[in-house]
Amino acid sequence: MPSETVHIKVTGIGAPMKSEHPKPILLADYRPPDFLIDNVDLDITLDPTRTRVVSKLSIRRNPTSQATGKIPLKLDGELLELESLSLNGKKLRRPSYVVDDTSLTLASPPKEPFTLEVTTFVNPKANTALQGIYLSRGVYCSQCEAQGFRRISYFLDRPDVLARYTVRLEADVATAPVLLANGNPVERGTLANRKRHYAVWHDPHPKPSYLFAIVGGDLASVASTFTTQSRRDVDLRIYVEHGKEPRAHWAMDALKRAMRWDEVRFGREYDLDVFNIVAVSDFNMGAMENKGLNIFNDRLILASPDTATDTNYESIESVVAHEYFHNWTGNRITCRDWFQLCLKEGLTVYRDQEFSAENRSRTVQRISDVRQLKALQFPEDQGPLSHPVRPDSYIEINNFYTPTVYEKGAEVVRMIETILGREKFRAGMDLYFERHDGQAVTIEDFIACFADASGVDFTQFKRWYTQAGTPELVCDLTFDRRKKAAELTVHQTLKPSPGKPKKQPQFIPLAVALLGENGKEMDVTVEGGEVRPGVLAVTDATAKFKFTNVSSRPVPSLLRGFSAPVNVTIALSDDDLAFLMHHDSDLFNRWQASNRFASRSILALLEAKRPKPAAASKAAKLAEALRHALRDAALDDAYKAELLRLPGVADAAREKAVRVDHAAIFDAHRTFSRAVADKLGDDLDDVYTRTSTTAAFSPDARHAGRRALRNAALTLLTARGTSEDYARLESHYRRASNMTDAAQALVLIAGVDAPGRQSVIEDFFERWKQDHLVIDTWFAAQAQSPRDETLDEVKALCHHPLFKITTPNKVRALIGTFAMANPLQFNRADGAGYDFLADKVLEIDALNPQVAARMLGAFRSYRSLEPKRKARAKAALKQVASAARLSRDCQEIVSRMLED
């Protein structure tokens, strides 16, 4: 019988293009599915341009369905060629079913349970959107979150439909000797005179379609075994391109440590016989937690001292753990609908942050987490893309894999632990796993477990999930010397957002200490409400807290450990901040005081009539505090490195918030950085020399901290811009014995007009042009250079033979770095940076809408720019909006940005 094909005109296989008025999907409209699918049997024959998928579905009516009368069965499907359709073994013909661009509908399905068999064809080679089944450097792989399964077969492609999957894969032995799917291996065999073969996999755990995965290719592997706490042996394998096996050992080590940590910290044991990870070169995200078959962007698996930086090693450790932790927080318990995305992502980010904190420095991890939150999520909260941790509407769900869902979602979970303490928090998590294993649940289900386990009322706290924006705490501390008492007044506000002009007060845990004149914490008594000792409960628009037994004027240490994702304002003098930099026992707040002092100093130079003398005065006070820290043997090197990392141009711009001129901020930043380096020069020289080592490379926290401190000293020394500093920088590159040192030198020298600049850039290219991962460092180093020639150089690099617009990693390394990590040149006064990105977004959108939409995030703070830049950025956005063909992904983002 001839195949019935759904014809959709596309360039590559991207997303459906925009309609004039795309209809938003609303949380309020959620209804249970009318049908459930209990079992899925898939037979997939892999072919580069014509992969055949036979899907046999066991379907029944959902007893909780709210539908009445005649109930049609509507299956999701996009970009599929339908060959045949059978119901209970009987082939169906039109008009018993209807197929359109996005679905297949049976008007009158049986009332009793039935079997539906669907045969479709897909084209992996043409799939540039990288959703569904596609090819990555010759390897078949899949990506189904959030709605990619509908590009493999017609299905109820929603997270609250949980089914057990059995998958048979067939392919040529020569091109795909490795065949993998979810679950446990059941059977393998050869066909056609051993030229073809097959493998059968079965996953006993019900899962939503977004967790389905397959891989087929010619891959090598690294193998190991993990013995669970119940003494079961689990076969572990990481699959990589041939010759790269040695670069997968760190990822394997991280996996085994994560498995043990989850058993100890949360009592979660792995539940299959095998756990496989596959590293691929083309991937829209970082990694995917498919049940038993994690698929990773290879930059988050492959590492060796000469090819990966310490940051790469740390990212691999964190993301391997993150995806493994999803086995329980995301897989065994999943989301009822995509509005609950933070339920799996925010919770799992919190878990991976805790894993990293316990494997490295807790304080440094907290600083890293908050840096990212403030750099990415706070601007999102303040701009046109602001949305609650649990959104209430969307047009394209791919646009809500955001810092708000991930990073702020993690902070919300952390606040629960702050309020309850670790023991009661663990009791709530235990109840969550016990009560909801095997279910698709909601935020309300999650919060109820903590309320039931602790007896604490979380009604007000749930507003963190429903109200967008970053709360502002305006604080005032008064001291009565005669009464030896102090009073802290806290006003909380939350700015209006679209559709929410008035917002209610949040429940904010505010960790506080008062430091006496001796630099030690005062032993005070608090009146006004504590959730735990040292943590105040801010629940009203205005809250007052009284402290007694205050023997001298206190210096407040507020929001210790960053106890809530809020902004805090309190009148602290430069001397107060310097006091905290020297004495605060909360090391996070000591860093925060240093960071705040530096940001304040940089912004003050914007108004200074004589910037250099003003910078010297401020720099002397900061340098004194930094010198004190550098000489403190009790502080670890990684923490000292964080203190030396001054806030960047983008950080200072975020603090200014209105009428931002990045060129002026860059000049002020450069002036202040040079002044600090001048004041601290001898100490920096000493640190740089003292931390040099000839010892063998180790990625552990101690050795990585030592390298971080040395490179932080190098960065500040280079800011002085002398010929001696540039000579040291080039020597640092030439003598580098690891990629951490080489990459840092490359980035620094690419950003200045040093004599050896071009020689270093050319040398790095010649060394690494054959390595598709390392060469991304070369692209990124040039893209973030603040030099005036950078935009022209980036445009030229877009035509470089090693740059591919269809490869997300290359797009992120070059175009993404320029737009999101080069605030000076992206925000050029002539608007050329904005125009360049708009042109590239339209080019990428025709190939990969998900990546294109993420690039538009560079405009998220354009409304805070000074008027001329703001107008030019808005014009660039209008250029994107007016495109004849624009994906839903980009249309949603750009329309929200242009809303009044």
Three-point CA angle 753, 730, 785, nearest 5°: 40
Q: Which of 853, 856, 851 has its CA nearest to residue 837?
A: 856
What is the C-alpha to C-alpha distance for residues 330 and 404, in angstroms, rounded to an integer?
A: 18
Structure token pair of residue 778:
């070369």
What is the C-alpha to C-alpha distance for residues 144 and 151, in angstroms, rounded to an integer?
A: 8
Start-to-end Cα distance in the chain = 55
Angle between helices 790-797 and 774-783 (to 10 degrees): 150
**What distances in angstroms separate CA 892 from CA 18, 853, 858, one per listed residue?**
9, 9, 15
3-class SS of residue 273: coil
The per-residue DSSP string of 688-746 comes to HHHT---SPP--SHHHHHHHHHHHHHHHHHHHT--HHHHHHHHHHHHH--SHHHHHHHH
Q: Which of 585, 589, 435 has its CA nearest to residue 521?
A: 585
Radius of gyration of the chain (CA): 28
DSSP 317: H
Are 536 and 530 spatial neighbours (Cβ–Cβ below 8 Å)? Answer: yes
Known catalytic residue at 434: no
Which is the catalytic residue, given 241, 289, 314, 323? Answer: 323
Q: Which residues pair with 143 in a beta bridge?
A: 132
3-class SS of residue 145: coil
Scored b (16 or more CB within 10 A) or e, 420-447 reads beeebbbbbbebbbeebeeebbbbebbb
DSSP 505: P
3-class SS of residue 769: coil
Structure token pair of residue 100:
């359109």
Residues 6+ apart with CB under 8 A from 214: 44, 133, 140, 141, 142, 167, 169, 179, 180, 181, 293
**What distances in angstroms separate CA 452 from CA 76, 317, 435, 529, one per listed residue?**
38, 34, 11, 22
Three-point CA angle 895, 896, 899, nearest 5°: 85
**What distances in angstroms separate CA 708 from CA 301, 699, 734, 744, 816, one per listed residue?**
21, 12, 18, 10, 24
What is the C-alpha to C-alpha distance for residues 131 and 154, in angstroms, rounded to an integer?
A: 14
3-class SS of residue 143: strand
Are 773 and 298 spatial neighbours (Cβ–Cβ below 8 Å)? Answer: yes
The per-residue DSSP string of 574-592 comes to HHHHHHHHHH-SSHHHHHH
**What distances in angstroms separate CA 626 from CA 537, 634, 675, one per listed residue?**
33, 14, 13
The per-residue DSSP string of 409-473 comes to HHHHHHHHHHHH-HHHHHHHHHHHHHHHTT-EE-HHHHHHHHHHHH----TTTTHHHH--S--EE
State the catalytic residues: 323
